[in-house]
Amino acid sequence: VSNSLFGMGNPLLDICAIVDKDFLDKYTLKPNDQILAEDKHKELFEEIVKKFKVEYHAGGATQNSIKIAQWMIQQPHKVGTFFGCIGKDKFGEILKEKAKEAHIDAHYYEQDEEPTGTCAACITADNRSLVANLAAANCYKKEKHLDLEENWQLVEKAKVYYIAGFFLTVSLESILKVAKHASENNKLFCLNLSAPFICQFFKDNLMQVMPYVDVLFGNETEATAFAKEQEFETEDTKEIAKKAQALPKVNSKRHRIVVLTQGKDETVIASSDKVKTFPVLKIDPKDIVDTNGAGDAFVGGFLSELVQEKPLDQCVKAAHYAANVIIRRAGCTFPEKPDFK
């Protein structure tokens, strides 16, 4: 049904390039990381365009996942709704255009104080270091957009909600309003840990939302950072999944599910009574174009089945399929139609 999947987050234009180690070192970037741009990264955005061959792709973690879910579902159009903030500029127009092409129902809060946000995706071999300059994305305001009746009606139409942890740095009150709505109406609220820095520096915001989380996503590095901050005293992915699953939860009608990916290693899922592992689809390393978007695609595939009320193993199967397709391509882009059963 249209608008049954709702996402809210940072709409960014990805500036993707294959770079070299010197470039990473110059800006003290880890090969595989996600960070927010600081003053020392100002030049990075100019240099990457001058020095390397760049491609521009519509990005932003949550928006990517909603698009992938829509692509997996195909029909009807506009199953996925997306809210976020952009600038009144060329990059903003590109994001609107790309959202239309992906058949998602994007409702952007448009303001002219800040330009549309960008994300430098610095690719080396099968690693990607992401540096996000949120700009406009950071200007999302609950009272200016989410609270407006015509927008809130779209929130109420949804059955499944997904927000990447990245949005915790922008508008905690917007996330809590959506999370509480989901919890009070026994709908599914899903959150992603998104990055080690979210688990470390935005832990208070994260833990305010956690009691409302029905499905928690993350990868192994995020899980380790989360476990350390929460004093779980373990680095074992299965143990972390179990402990995160058991954290306090408001809506007791649903048990939390924790889904942790580990790159080429098996995916770990903790539900109320057990921890299961699911192997990923095999891929020849030389077929990997870039892993930027793999995590977003995984979530998108998962959500596409979740919103159709399919069993957990089918959700994981779709997640692995979508991630496998995306890593063979540049950026978070996809072929015309999925080939998934």
> Which residues are known to be catalytic?
296
Rounded distance, CA 261 to CA 189, Å?
19
Rounded distance, CA 248 to CA 147, Å?
28
Q: Are strands 188-192 and 215-219 parallel, antiparallel or unpaired?
A: parallel
CA-nearest of 50, 202, 62, 194 to 120 is: 50
Place of tokens 């890593």: 327
Helix crossing, 312-326 with 294-306: angle to 10°? 150
Rounded distance, CA 60 to CA 122, Å?
15
| Percentage helix, strand, coil for the chain under 3-state DSSP, each rounded to 5 | 45, 25, 35
Residue 313: Cβ within 10 Å count:
12
Rounded distance, CA 326 to CA 300, Å?
11
- The sign of the torsion formed by the CA atoms of 130, 131, 133, 137 equals positive
CA-nearest of 329, 341, 220 to 283 is: 329
